[in-house]
Structure 1
Amino acid sequence: MDIPLHYFDEYVGDKLYSYLDNPLARYAAPYAANATTLDFSSAHNTLSSLTSYLASVPGLSSLPRDSILRQAISLYGITYVGIFILYFSVATGSYYLIFDKRMESHPRFLKNQVAKEIAFSLEAFPMLDLLTLPWFVGDVRGHSQLYDTIAEGPFGQQGGAMPWLYVAFSAALFLWFTDFAIYWVHRWLHIPFLYKRLHKPHHKWIIPTPFASHAFHPVDGYLQSVPYHLACYLFPIHKYLFIGLFSFVNLWSIFIHDSDMLCGHPLEHYINGPAHHTLHHLYFTCNYGQYFCWADKAFKSFRVPAKDDDPLVAVLAGREKLRLAAEAEERSKQAAAAPASAPASPAAEAISHLRPAEMRRIDSGLGSETEPPKEGESSGDEASSKASSRASSVGPAAIKAAAVATPRREGLRARK
C-alpha cells in the first residue's frame, strides 16, 4: 500500500495536511506554565490547564510523511474511498448489465432489498476499514514481504527467466492459499455459535444482488479478508501484483453475487462462480470456496449447479400460474356475460365436416403441407365429398356463404 500512499502524499496529502493545524495552538501562550501538567484543583484551573495541554499538541500539519499517525490516517482514507468507488461502480454495473431483474419477483426477495443491501454495506465499511488498517500500516512500514522491483525479489540477482517465473508462481500461490484459507474461515463461520453472531446477516439475502457482496457484519468481512493480508507476510509478492490481486478478489466477490445460474459448461466442476455461490445462499451448507471447487469436493461440501436449482425457475412458474389464473378469470367473465348460444343450423353442421382436414396443417413455413390421414381415416377429399352429399339438401348458396365466413388457415410464413 506504500505505492498508493506515495501518490496520495505527492498530489493530495502534503497540501491537505498543511491545512490541518491544531486550532487550539493560539491559546497555548497564556497558559504556557500549565502546558505539561493538568490541574484539577478548581474548575478554572482544570479548564485552563486542559486547554493549554491540548493546545501544545502538534497539529497534523507538522506531521512528516513517515509519521505512523499520518500514515494511518491517510491509509484509512485511501482504503475507504477506494472500496467505496469500487463497490458502487462495479456493483452498479453488474446490477444493471448482468443481474436478471426478474429475480426480484422471487418470493424470497425482500422488499426494498437493494436499498437494504447498500445501507448494510455502508454501515460495514468504516469498521471493516479500521480492522484492516494495521495490515496496511505494517506493509508501508516494511514489515511485509512485498518488494518493489524484480531485482529485489526472489532470484532477482541471477536475472533471466527465474524472477519472472516466481512472479507467476506467487500469483498462483496467492490464489491457492487464499482460496483454501477462506474455505475454512467461511465454513467455520457456519458453526451455529459464530453463524448467529457474525455470518447470519449476510445470509439474510437469500436471492442476492451484486450489492450484497459487501453487505455483511464487519467482523465477518474482516475474517474472510485476513488470508489476503496474511499472504504477503508469509511469502514474497511483487507490490504491483499484490495490488492487482487484491483488486481482483474484491471484483470477484461482487461477480459471484449476481445470481446468474450458468450451468452445463466445462468449468463448473473447477471454478466457483455465481451459480455455485447462488446455491450457497439458497442451501447454506454447500460451496464455501472463493474461486475454485477443489476444496468443496475434497471436503464433501460441493454441489454442482443444475437448472432445476435456478431460482428463476420459481419466478417463471409463479408468473405462468398468475397468467393462467388471469386467463381463467377472463374466460369465466366472458362466459357469464355471453347470451345462451342458439342451436347450430343444418348448413353450419354440414360445413363443419369440411374443416378437420384443413386445420391439421403442418406449419413448416411453406404453407402447403398437411398431415397424411391416419389409418382407417378418410382423406380430406373423401371427407369433403361425404360432407357435400350430406349437405345437398341444404343448398349450394348456404355452403358458399359458410365457406366465405370461414377463411382458409395459412401456413407460418403467410401469417408472418
Structure 2
Amino acid sequence: MVAAILLSALAMSVIVGVRYLVASGGFALATRIRQPGLYRGLERQMGREVRWSLLSAFIYGVPAGIVAWGWQARGWTRIYSDINDYPLWYLPLSVLLYLLAHDCWFYWTHRWMHQPRLFRIAHAVHHASRPPTAWAAMSFHPWEALTGAIVIPGLVFLIPIHVGALAVVLTVMTIMGVSNHMGWEMFPRWMVRGPMGAWLITASHHQRHHEYYACNYGLYFRFWDRLCGTDKGLGEFVKARA
C-alpha cells in the first residue's frame, strides 16, 4: 500500500511538472510571437522561475497523488465518475463552487503571505520576478507552495464533483495562473475594461499587485479585494516594463 501511494504521488508530481512546462512554455511562446522582446534580458530570472516552479510541482503533486490513490483504491473522496450521480445542472455549479472556494482560500493565504515576516521567509521568492513572466506562475517558496497544494485535494473531501468538472477546474487554475503573470493582456479590452472585467481577474489586474504589492490579492474574482478595500484597479504593462 505504501509503495502504491508513493508511486501515485511521484506520478502526480511528474504530471503537474509537465503541465506547468507545457502551459508556461505555450504562453511564453505566445509572448514571443505577440510581444517580441518583452522577456529580453530576463533569461536568468526565467531560469530561476522554472527551478522554483518544478520544486513547487513536486509539492503540489504529493497531496494530489495521495488523494488520487485514495479515490481509486478506497473511495475516500466525493469525486464521482458516473454523470448520472447528480443532476446535469450541478456540473457547472460544482465548477463555480470550487473556483469560489479556491479564490477565497487564495485571497486570504496570499494576503497572509504579505505579512512582513512571512514575506521575507517565503513570498519574496515569487516577487523576485520583476517583472513576472509566463514561467513565474508556480515560482513559490516551498512553504507557500504547500498552502496552495492542499486546497483542491481538501475540497474533494467536502464538495462532490465529477471527474470531468474537476479537470475543468484544474485547467482554469492553470490558464489563469500562467496568463496572469505573462506581462501582457490576452483578453480583449471590452472584456477587461467592461462590466465583466469589473469582477474577473486578468493579467491587467494582477499586474498591479506586482507593481505595488499591498493590493489585488485575488486569483479569479475581484470580490474579496472589493469587499476588503484592497482592489486598486488595473495595472499598465508599458509603465511596469519601463
Q: What's the TM-score once normalised by structure 1's chain length?
A: 0.52
Contact map agreement 2:16 2:60 (CA 8 A) in 1: no
Displacement of 1:164 in angstroms is: 0.7
* Distance across 1 between alignment mates of 2:237 and 2:171: 29
Give per-residue Cα distances to partners, 1:217-236, cap 9 Å, x unaligned: 12212212322222211121
Displacement of 1:180 in angstroms is: 1.4
Specify the alignment match of 1:172 in structure 2.
Answer: 96
Q: Over aligned residues, Cα RMSD in angstroms?
A: 2.3
Displacement of 1:244 in angstroms is: 2.6
What residue identity is the alignment partner of 2:70?
G
Give per-residue Cα distances to partners, 1:64-92, cap 9 Å, x unaligned: xxxx3243133223212212221122211
Alignment size in residue pairs: 234
2:213 maps to 1:265: no
Contact map agreement 2:199 2:223 (CA 8 A) in 1: yes
Q: What secondary structure, in the 3-state scheme, does the structure 2 residue paired with 1:197 have?
A: helix
Contact map agreement 1:185 1:223 (CA 8 A) in 2: yes
* Distance across 1 between alignment mates of 2:60 and 2:149: 10
Displacement of 1:248 in angstroms is: 2.5
What residue identity is the alignment partner of 1:79?
M
Q: What secondary structure, in the 3-state scheme, does the structure 2 residue paired with 1:208 have?
A: coil
Specify the alignment match of 2:226 in structure 1.
Answer: 297
* Distance across 2 between alignment mates of 1:175 and 1:102: 34
Specify the alignment match of 1:112 in structure 2.
Answer: 44
Report matched runs for 1:374-385 at 5 Å: none
Contact map agreement 1:117 1:212 (CA 8 A) in 2: yes
Q: What secondary structure, in the 3-state scheme, does the structure 2 residue paired with 1:188 have?
A: helix
Contact map agreement 1:132 1:222 (CA 8 A) in 2: no
* Distance across 2 between alignment mates of 1:313 and 1:102: 16
2:10 maps to 1:82: no
* Distance across 1 between alignment mates of 2:163 and 2:16: 19
Report matched runs for 1:2-401 at 5 Å: 68-98=1-31, 100-104=35-39, 112-140=44-72, 141-153=74-86, 163-261=87-185, 265-266=193-194, 267-305=196-234, 309-313=235-239, 315=241
Displacement of 1:284 in angstroms is: 0.7
* Distance across 2 between alignment mates of 1:180 and 1:287: 13
Q: Note the residue ranges of structure 2 that are not aligned, 5 or more in a row.
A: none
**Structure 1 residues 104, 224: CA separation in 2 closer, same or farther (over 3 Å shift)?**
same
Contact map agreement 2:63 2:149 (CA 8 A) in 1: no
Contact map agreement 2:13 2:62 (CA 8 A) in 1: no
Displacement of 1:258 in angstroms is: 0.8
Give per-residue Cα distances to partners, 1:152-192, cap 9 Å, x unaligned: 33xxxxxxxxx111222212211111111211111111112
Give per-residue Cα distances to partners, 1:69-122, cap 9 Å, x unaligned: 2431332232122122211222112112136344346xxx75621122112223
Displacement of 1:247 in angstroms is: 2.9
Q: What secondary structure, in the 3-state scheme, does the structure 1 residue paired with 2:76 have?
A: coil
| Structure with larger Rg | 1
**Structure 1 residues 248, 315: CA separation in 2 closer, same or farther (over 3 Å shift)?**
closer
* Distance across 2 between alignment mates of 1:285 and 1:315: 19
What residue identity is the alignment partner of 2:236?
D
**Structure 1 residues 200, 177: CA separation in 2 closer, same or farther (over 3 Å shift)?**
same
**Structure 1 residues 174, 127: CA separation in 2 closer, same or farther (over 3 Å shift)?**
closer
Q: Note the residue ranges of structure 1 that are not aligned, 5 or more in a row.
A: 1-67, 154-162, 317-416
What residue identity is the alignment partner of 2:128?
K
Calculate percent identity across the aligned residue pairs: 23
Displacement of 1:315 in angstroms is: 4.8
**Structure 1 residues 310, 101: CA separation in 2 closer, same or farther (over 3 Å shift)?**
farther
Q: What's the TM-score once normalised by structure 2's chain length?
A: 0.86
* Distance across 2 between alignment mates of 1:70 and 1:244: 29
* Distance across 1 between alignment mates of 2:63 and 2:92: 30
* Distance across 2 between alignment mates of 1:301 and 1:265: 18
What residue identity is the alignment partner of 2:198?
H
Give per-residue Cα distances to partners, 1:250-303, cap 9 Å, x unaligned: 222111111115766213211111111111111111111111111110111102
What residue identity is the alignment partner of 1:239?
V
Q: What secondary structure, in the 3-state scheme, does the structure 2 residue paired with 1:112 have?
A: helix
What residue identity is the alignment partner of 1:248?
V
* Distance across 2 between alignment mates of 1:304 and 1:215: 24
